[in-house]
Structure 1
Amino acid sequence: SFQKRGYLLRAYYYTALIEDSEYSSIRPLIDWLDYNGYRVVTKPAKEFTDAAGRRKIKGNMDIELAVDAMELADTGDHFVLFSGDGDFRSLVEALQRKGRKVSVVSSLTTSPPMISDDLRRQADHFIDLASLRAEIGRNPAERENRISRRTEVDEADASDEDY
């Protein structure tokens, strides 16, 4: 159904990664996206300790996304942003000034909503993720089956104790 609506020129995924981490839970997603043609943009996350002594991780990719979007503004006619971050309102407005249509995909149905009201109002189109569930969502039973199979494998490995 997407092919009837337009031509996807490029798809980007932005994320910050913790360096020196033996395993990142997001690594399988990044590898899948990269293998399937997404342009994956990463940068090292910064770790720090806050005033209360808690470990915090900061990895903002807003500038990278905005620069890439503005560089593509002359070749794309419709931008689709999967974010609810109100900081992107100015980017959406700048793309619109260049005559580009901007759709924003996020969620209003969560509590609290995952989209800034300013960003939603600025977008040419707002698409609630909940409205896409039938097209892109997973059947929850599939996830439960996958988790139970993984647990069965883990339990089988645990019973083969080699101490």
Structure 2
Amino acid sequence: MRHYEDESKRSRRSIGVDLAVDALEIAPRVDAIFLFSGDGDFRVLVETVQRLGVRVTVVSSTRTTPAMASDELRRQADAFLELATLRKSIERQTRRPG
């Protein structure tokens, strides 16, 4: 979220645009991109970087209600990783008092 300190004190979300620009900038220099999102709005971005020769793996979840990953995005991706299957590998280990 970007904050603008002007007379209207408005805020504007632009992370999706920033992510898309970054992906398009790095696409000529990478073989694969992992997209941690299930937002179907990214389907066109995935298709575009695939045309540039980049393999795209979407990491999201279909186990939530409603599913976080859109069907269109999952179908467009070269691979889909269910986020829940990564839980033990990526979750923070908490120390037990003792």
Q: Work out whether 1:107 is the aligned partner of 2:54.
A: no
- Give me the TM-score of the superposition, normalised by structure 1: 0.51
The whole-number CA distance in structure 1 between the counterparts of 2:2 and 2:44 is: 26
The whole-number CA distance in structure 2 between the counterparts of 1:60 and 1:112 is: 24
1:5-58 Cα distance to aligned partner (Å, 9 max, x none): xxxxxxxxxxx14567xxxxxxxxxxxxxxxxxxxxxxxx71xxxxxxxxxxx5
Match of 1:76 in 2: 30
Match of 1:127 in 2: 81
* Structure having the higher Rg: 1
| Identity among equivalent pairs (%) | 51
Runs of at least 5 residues in structure 1 that lack an aligned partner in the other structure: 1-15, 21-44, 47-57, 147-163
Q: How many residues align?
A: 93
Aligned partner letter, 1:83 = S
Regions of 4+ moved over 4 Å: 17-20
Q: RMSD in angstroms over aligned alpha carbons?
A: 2.3
Return the offset for 1:138: 3.4
1:7-22 alignment to 2 at 5 Å?
16-18=1-3
Match of 2:44 in 1: 90
The whole-number CA distance in structure 1 between the counterparts of 2:66 and 2:92 is: 23
Checking the alignment, whether the CA contact within 8 Å between 2:62 and 2:69 is kept in structure 1 is yes
- Give me the TM-score of the superposition, normalised by structure 2: 0.82
Aligned partner letter, 1:106 = S
Asked which structure has the greater RCO (Cα within 8 Å, sep 6+), the reply is: 2
Match of 1:138 in 2: 92
Aligned partner letter, 2:63 = T
